[in-house]
Structure 1
Amino acid sequence: MPLLLAPAPAPALRSVLGALGSPTAVREAPVSALRTHQGPLSPDHPLPVHVWDDISRPGGTPHTRLAGWRFLVRGGERAVATAEARLTPDGWTFARFCGGPYVAATEQALAQAEALTAPLQPRLLSVPELYMLTLWLHHDTASDGAEGLPAAGDLLVPLAPAPPGIAAHRPQRLADLLPRLTLRLAPAPLLREPA
């Protein structure tokens, strides 16, 4: 079943296209694969990036906020980087190019998700408290991608590198993964010195 991508806001896409069309922005990018790529570069697979703040809050419902849109930057057959657009008081603007392991991990997770049978809307969900990024496969395919909360039946695919104890690239229902995430954030018990 093909994934149902939410369309990125047109100004966000334009800001990324402007950066990709700027020799200076590409030449000064901190991503060597982007700087050294020969040939055209194009944005692909727009994904809204949601941040899950305060995941360790007990008894609370998941609270996320839209942080921007991330595009895989294709150079030929593969992604060589990502490009991000952020919403500012003046509108959408290009934020940065990124490289590193999350580029290939995002591409791999999207390929895994394509093999699933249910229609799902892909998003990215960042969990800053755990230094973790997941592909969030949202059940509401009609939503615009900028809103909505993770639901118990949504699937999360932790991207590599994942935190210790969390399997990378293993799709898991939010309801199953959430207890393990909150356990990882629980304070360690204080050790008492022997009397």
Structure 2
Amino acid sequence: MPLLVPPAPAPALRSVLTALGSPTAVREDRTPALRVLPGPFTAEAPLPLHVLAGDGRPGGPPLTRLAGWRFLIRCGGRSVAVAEAVVTADGWAFSRFSEGPYVKSTEQALAQAESLPTAYQPRLLSVPELYMLTLWLHGDTAADPAAGSPAPGDPLVPLAPAPPGIAAYRPYRAADLLPVIGVRTAPRQLPGPLLGSPA
């Protein structure tokens, strides 16, 4: 069943298209592929990018926040980079272009998700503390893509490269993967003073 990709906010898409069409609109250098390839470039597969901001209350949903929208930049029938737009006090603004393994792994995970028997709203969920990015397949396809948290049954598909011990491209139930992430991102407690040692 096809993924129901939500439309990106029009100003977010406009900011990315403006950056693609006008190198002077970009403060930092374009990525190597965007400098070398002749184009034309298109911005496709808009995905809301959420950041895991905490575990929430015990037994409650995890806390997430919308960080922006990410677009796959395609040229010649393949994805060559990603572009991000972020919300600012004045509205949406282009943030950056980037390359790297998450370009191809996002494309691969989306293709894999298209073959699932259930319809999902695709999103991205970032876990900065683990340098981890997952394709979050939200079960409520009519939900506001900028809001919400993973439901227990929502599949989370880690993109490659995934942290050690977590398989890339394997769909995990959010209820199974998020506790593992929580353990890995929890602050480490230093042991208390040993008996007989100075405090």
TM-score where L is the length of structure 2:
0.89
Q: How does 1:119-134 map to 2 (within 5 A)?
A: 119-134=119-134
Q: Which amino acid aligns with 1:152?
A: P
Provide the residue aligned with 1:29 in structure 2. 29
Q: Is 1:118 matched with 2:122? A: no
Q: Is the 8 A contact 2:157 2:170 kept in 1?
A: yes
| Offset, 1:25 | 5.2
Q: Is the 8 A contact 1:55 1:129 kept in 2?
A: no
Q: Is the 8 A contact 1:55 1:127 kept in 2?
A: no
CA-based RMSD: 2.2
| Offset, 1:183 | 2.5
Q: Which amino acid aligns with 1:79?
A: S
Q: 1:28 to 1:38 in 2, by over 3 A?
A: farther
| Offset, 1:149 | 1.3
Q: Which amino acid aligns with 2:111?
A: A
Provide the residue aligned with 2:143 in structure 1. 143
Q: 1:30 to 1:58 in 2, by over 3 A?
A: farther
| Offset, 1:192 | 9.1
| Offset, 1:161 | 1.0
Q: 1:142 to 1:97 in 2, by over 3 A?
A: same
Aligned mates of 2:109, 2:26 — CA distance in 1? 26
| Offset, 1:94 | 0.5
Aligned mates of 2:51, 2:38 — CA distance in 1? 34
Q: Secondary structure at the match of 1:96?
A: strand
Q: Is 1:13 matched with 2:13? A: yes
Deviates more, 1:12-21 or 1:141-150: 141-150
| Offset, 1:9 | 0.4
Provide the residue aligned with 1:41 in structure 2. 41
Larger-Rg structure: 2
Q: Is the 8 A contact 1:136 1:154 kept in 2?
A: yes
Provide the residue aligned with 1:78 in structure 2. 78
Q: Secondary structure at the match of 2:150?
A: coil
Q: 1:127 to 1:170 in 2, by over 3 A?
A: same
Q: Is the 8 A contact 1:26 1:34 kept in 2?
A: no
| Offset, 1:165 | 1.1
Q: Secondary structure at the match of 1:144?
A: coil
Q: Is the 8 A contact 2:54 2:64 kept in 1?
A: no
Aligned mates of 1:171, 1:129 — CA distance in 2? 21
Aligned mates of 1:144, 1:37 — CA distance in 2? 36
Write out per-residue CA displacement over residues 134-193 of structure 1, whole angstroms, 9 at most, x where no aligned residue. 000000101231111110010100111111111111111101112221222343774998
Aligned mates of 1:53, 1:148 — CA distance in 2? 12
| Offset, 1:23 | 3.3
Provide the residue aligned with 1:62 in structure 2. 62
Write out per-residue CA displacement over residues 31-58 of structure 1, whole angstroms, 9 at most, x where no aligned residue. 2112111120000000000111123875
Aligned mates of 2:189, 2:45 — CA distance in 1? 40
Provide the residue aligned with 2:157 in structure 1. 157
